[in-house]
Structure 1
Amino acid sequence: MSRRTPYIVYGGIALIALLVYLPALSNGFVNWDDQAYVYENHNIRSFDLKWLLSAVVVGNWHPLTMLSYMVDYSIWGLNPFGYHLANIVIHAANTFLVGVLGLRLTALASSDKRASLFTGATLALLFGLHPLHVESVAWVSERKDVLSTLFFLLSIISYLNYKKTPKPLSYIGSLLLFALSVMGKPMSITLPAVLLIMDFYPLNGFKAGIKKALVEKVPYFAMAIIFAGVTVWAQGSDNAIASLDYHPMGSRVLVAIRALAFYIYKTAVPINLAPFYPRDLAPSFFGIEYTSSFALVIAITAVSILFLKKSRLPLALMLFYLVTLSPVIGIIQVGSQAAADRYTYIPGLAPFMLIATGVGWISSRNKGVATALALILAFVLGALTIRQIAVWRDSVSLWSHEVAVYPDEAPIGWSNLGLAYKDRGELDKAVTNYNKATEVDPGYAEAYGNRAATYLRMGRMDEALDDLSTAIRLNPRIPELYGNRGVVFINIGEYEKAIEDLTESIGLSPSTAAKGFFNRGIAYKGLGMNAEAVSDFTRTIEADPSFAGAYNNRGGAYLRMGSYDAAIEDFSSAVRMKPDDAAAHYNLGLSYLKKGETESAVASFEKAASLGLPQAAAQLRLLKR
């Protein structure tokens, strides 16, 4: 076998993975975090190093991921094709690296080159084509998964190079790649422990003493501790971590044990995969799901220990599985889900490796049987993955699938399906789905908040106000609820109440408060408090320099204050950004008129009149008298 053969084989498998995921290129964005990461995130539209290094997005600090979105936007704008293409290409690269890693690890424990080749190939096939990974690849917001894993794998391979030939460059390279991995997604902070597991098997690094192995990992662990602190700060600042009052430690342990078994089950039987797996709020150890999960975990542990004298592989894989899952297993509860497919992207390598080792063992005895098994796996998993990719086509297909799998357990599915219909302009369908969400869980604040936003769009202010007040009573920590209630108060002319709610919204989420400042500026303007309005519109523009409406409204405040030059500057910016905004052209004309520049005023009024604004035509008639 040529030395190039494995790399050709793994490259071919990576290409197969890429081809299988091509249908995702026709998928769009979905209304689950994609808005925060991409299509409503104005910060990715320019390179701002200060923002990049300090931004917390959806409870995460991951500057490398956000940098990748900046690059995507500079090339593709808001065309989802490019974002999906990047995810798919990175996943294909990961598939290749997984094959190489499987080959190298197996070769350390076995001299059978064919078995090593088949083990790496099967591992790459399972990783590249398993439908559990569709969420990580076909969901634009999970760029962090594929990108972080790329550097995670490269860091391990660099570490293996160092262990083979102890060169400082390989060690430093592994450390730097680890840092990049964590800056892609903090879940990879487990890498130092993974390296220790590899020292245990297959490197047998403990022969030289555990102390040496630990000292070697000190820089890794120091880096992991620093990044863990940053992660806790980021998630705490975004109120992402659930309190012990809401999820007591006892229930967290039970949910974690169930999750360990759940992921193994879904690896073996990847059907009814869902974007959101609802969490049991009152789990009991005596429930069948929990007792059977506990029994399975104990059984796997016992088998791993019993096999220890014969092979360290089962115990090493079990430890890898436990360690890499530990940040997301539910002990530190982030979100309200019981589990998530995306959490298996790295931990799934453990059961995959066990299966791949079995195929490798078979290949050493019967190459044809092993090849047939690998082909069957590729065909079955590829078909399931293509079907799962279609689930992520758009928001309606995603949440329609969720409510089909969990019709009575997950109000988030009905609520987000309502949002999807709202975005399509199908407001009655949206309300119907929100109603279903409140039936499934009358205490689900988000459903009331989303229904209120739809009522607001429909002009049904009283119903919107009732729903928002109910939602705030149920969950007073959601900033959007106060923001939307503030908008309702603006619409009914209660500006003082609007300012109170919008101030609360801004305080709850300062990092995403641009809309809150804008709406509070509108409320101040309604009260004639123009200086305060200018201040809020200015803060909106600082957060989003491309927001034409903020320039238009600040210009209006300046106009009322008699600051005509400032008004002209803002209205000019507004019409530059939105040349078809008749109101902005008209306001620019008024500013020129107030300043005595009649010729410029006439030009602006004529443009506004050509865009169909009656007031502009009336001004022109007055000026011609």
Structure 2
Amino acid sequence: MPARIVLLVAMTLTCLIYWPGLSGPFLFDDLPNLNPVQSWLTGELSWQSVVFGNQSGMLGRPLSMASFLLSAELSGHSPYAYKLGNLAIHLGCGFLGWQVIRRLLAQDQRLSTNSDLFATIVVALWLLHPINVSTVLYSVQRMAQLSTLFVLASLWAYLAARRQLIDGKTRRALLGLFLLFPLLVFAGLMSKENAAVAPALCLVIELAYFVSRPKSNRTVQAFFGLFLLLPGLAVIGVLITTPDRLLSGYAERDFTLIERLLSQTRVLMDYIGTVLIPRTPLLGLYTDDFQPSTGLLSPPTTLFSLLALLAISTGAIALRKRAPSVFAGWFFFLVAHGVESSILALELYFEHRNYLPAFGLILAVVGLTSLVPKDLPTNVFTPRQLGLVIAAGFALSFAFATGGRAHVWQAEDLILEQGLKHHPDSMRAQLVRATIALRTGETQASYDAFADLLASKNPRNRVIGRISWVTLDCMRGIDVPPSDLQRALIEARSKLSMAEVPALRLLARVVKEQGCGRLTDSAIADGISVMLEKAKDQPDYSRSKWLTRFLAAEMFLHAGRTAEAQEQAELAWRASGDLPTGALLANIYAVRKMRPEAERLLTVLDQRMGSYDTQGRAELAKTKALLDQQ
């Protein structure tokens, strides 16, 4: 059967097994990212506000946001609309991956005669792999998908240009290398910052397949100098001169840079095991309970994982000439993890981070077949036939596993049930458990979830559990004494994190909207101030800290304690330069009849705020109206 037909069959099967999961729910950060799209549909926001107003990552990911607008325009604001788009992109990534890998394998002397077939095997296994469910059926992970799509397109452009250089078609090659490639990488960066790995992946490809070719060396050197060496030097320069630009996130993490790097050895080995032998019940979203490594022997698997990674890398280097696809695939896997498994202060573990790297790992395994003797004795099958049978067996097992996961992903409670079974200490899982229970009227089940958080060994879990317990009491109309909140403050950490922000925000909203007996706005503001005081050594630029200050300022203002509101808002504004924070501070100045300060700040905000930011300008208009009344 021709390779293209097999690829089409794999794509069709992918559609069939994913289809049931398209009706699944929104999850986690779906709504914070996609609610502006709904506001655009109703005319409350401009498209510019949605595309350029997102705060995900360092670059805002405007291309991803534009794609969400397209999905909503075509099919409405629903999980189905976004997940259907994700499935289409998944197939597109599969097609581009096939084009890239078939060109790579065509450079492998031992595999070139069957390059299309081997590429089809790699891509079919990738398309059907159950690890990708948490990317395809998680709406907002389209950001990771689009980044992968453009990285693969850029690699295709590089390979085409590299072939043209060898064939002497220099002008076309230059256009591909210095115009098309950077445009595709830029599109990837505007989708998600992972696309920054594209030039390094090109270097892996160059070392694996082209390093022995002397032709056009200057052009290739100029390419890597411009797109790899210069950006690398720039990153090093930033780390030396202003390290906080890249490392500031550690100010709100419960692990250090060194601990994160040590932990990633275990994470990468776990990813490898999951890609090669999927443990479907263990897969999922609730991996926030992954414990960091605090030393090479704490836990001991840290050292073992590091040694294993070094051993595999050494073996791949030794095989570079005999089995270049093994070298290419292994280092493709490592380099593709280069953004999310390196120095950035991200969460330790997320399986969707393997969306691009998995191509490399599967390629490395398939590349091992080049080491199998062609005359290997078998009882029934030839080595080629045996290989095809094994590949088909893996593909079918992946398909069944992915189909099972897709059915689980039809319902939030099924996803949660599987997550709680294997990650009972996950804060994220317990909070979702409480939310679902509250939604269905099972109040006691919500309390049970918070009780499990209170019983956790993780002190941050206990803080969130206590705040959430108090919030639920308020929602039920119970007269909560301030001492109940103070019990949470006893265990408040010396670092505020992004876990406290939504918990405190929900409590504040409930108290402002319906009251909570003796737990007043003023008591909430005082409690938040205590948490901020405990975190006095945490840098003010930490996002979690200035957001908490913003919330404290709102509560002090609502309680009529305007001087304290001003103090907190000024600290948050100086630390962040955040426009909503500036708008709140301007409003506080206006309330306190500090007209010159308010007018100066309004001028700054007016200059910095985009003309399309209708909500922000509406807030400024309210403050100006308040000043005019004075």
Q: Same fold (TM over 0.5)?
A: yes
Shift of 1:90: 0.4
The two structures, once aligned, show a CA RMSD in angstroms of 4.5
CA contact (8 A) 2:522 2:556 kept: no
2:220 maps to 1:213:
yes
Distance 1:40 1:419 in 2: 22
User: Could you say which structure has the larger radius of gyration?
Assistant: 1
Q: Which moved more, 1:452-461 or 1:515-524?
A: 515-524
> For residue 505 of structure 2, what is the aligned residue in structure 1?
483
> For residue 474 of structure 2, what is the aligned residue in structure 1?
456
2:267 maps to 1:259:
yes
> For residue 363 of structure 2, what is the aligned residue in structure 1?
353
Shift of 1:86: 0.6
Structure 2 portions without partners, runs of 5+: 165-169, 375-381, 533-539, 564-587
Distance 2:147 2:628 in 1: 54
> For residue 169 of structure 1, what is the aligned residue in structure 2?
175
Q: Judging changes above 3 Å, is the alpha-carbon distance between structure 1 residues 103 and 245 closer, same or farther for their aligned structure 2 residues?
A: closer
Amino acid at match of 1:419: T
Q: Judging changes above 3 Å, is the alpha-carbon distance between structure 1 residues 252 and 480 closer, same or farther for their aligned structure 2 residues?
A: closer
When normalised by structure 1's length, the TM-score is 0.74
CA contact (8 A) 2:433 2:449 kept: yes
Residues 177-196 of structure 1 aligned to structure 2 (within 5 Å)? 177-196=184-203
Describe the SS at the equivalent of 1:351: helix
2:449 maps to 1:433:
yes
Shift of 1:279: 2.8
Shift of 1:526: 12
1:303 to 315, 327, 345: 315
Distance 2:373 2:138 in 1: 36
CA contact (8 A) 2:123 2:359 kept: no
Shift of 1:273: 1.6
Distance 1:500 1:37 in 2: 31
Q: How much identity, in percent, do the aligned residues show?
A: 17
CA contact (8 A) 2:157 2:176 kept: yes
CA contact (8 A) 2:86 2:139 kept: yes
CA contact (8 A) 2:430 2:453 kept: yes
Residues 478-517 of structure 1 aligned to structure 2 (within 5 Å)? 478-487=500-509, 490=512, 491=515, 492=518, 494-496=520-522
Residues 336-347 of structure 1 aligned to structure 2 (within 5 Å)? 337=348, 339-347=349-357
Amino acid at match of 1:170: G
Amino acid at match of 1:161: A
> For residue 447 of structure 1, what is the aligned residue in structure 2?
465
2:337 to 318, 325, 328: 325
Residues 206-245 of structure 1 aligned to structure 2 (within 5 Å)? 207-208=214-215, 212-221=219-228, 222=230, 241-243=249-251
Shift of 1:157: 0.6
CA contact (8 A) 1:448 1:470 kept: no
> For residue 35 of structure 1, what is the aligned residue in structure 2?
31
Describe the SS at the equivalent of 1:241: helix
Shift of 1:422: 2.9
Residues 10-21 of structure 1 aligned to structure 2 (within 5 Å)? 10-21=7-18
> For residue 422 of structure 1, what is the aligned residue in structure 2?
438
Distance 2:57 2:308 in 1: 34
Describe the SS at the equivalent of 2:136: helix
Q: Judging changes above 3 Å, is the alpha-carbon distance between structure 1 residues 328 and 195 closer, same or farther for their aligned structure 2 residues?
A: same
Amino acid at match of 2:157: S
- Structure with larger RCO (C-alpha < 8 A, sep 6+): 2
> For residue 97 of structure 1, what is the aligned residue in structure 2?
96
Amino acid at match of 2:129: H
Distance 2:69 2:528 in 1: 30
- After superposition, the C-alpha distances for 1:485-518 in whole angstroms (9 at most, x for unaligned) are 5446642584555667899999957899999998
2:76 maps to 1:77:
yes
- After superposition, the C-alpha distances for 1:37-91 in whole angstroms (9 at most, x for unaligned) are 1247766654443663353137773111122222223333331110110111100
Shift of 1:118: 1.9
Distance 2:148 2:420 in 1: 30
> For residue 279 of structure 1, what is the aligned residue in structure 2?
290
2:418 maps to 1:401:
yes
CA contact (8 A) 1:61 1:183 kept: yes
Amino acid at match of 1:397: L
2:20 to 18, 23, 35: 23
Describe the SS at the equivalent of 2:56: coil
Amino acid at match of 1:268: L
Distance 1:285 1:59 in 2: 31
When normalised by structure 2's length, the TM-score is 0.73
Structure 1 portions without partners, runs of 5+: 564-625
Distance 1:403 1:53 in 2: 36
Distance 2:558 2:40 in 1: 26
Amino acid at match of 2:283: L
Distance 1:156 1:417 in 2: 42
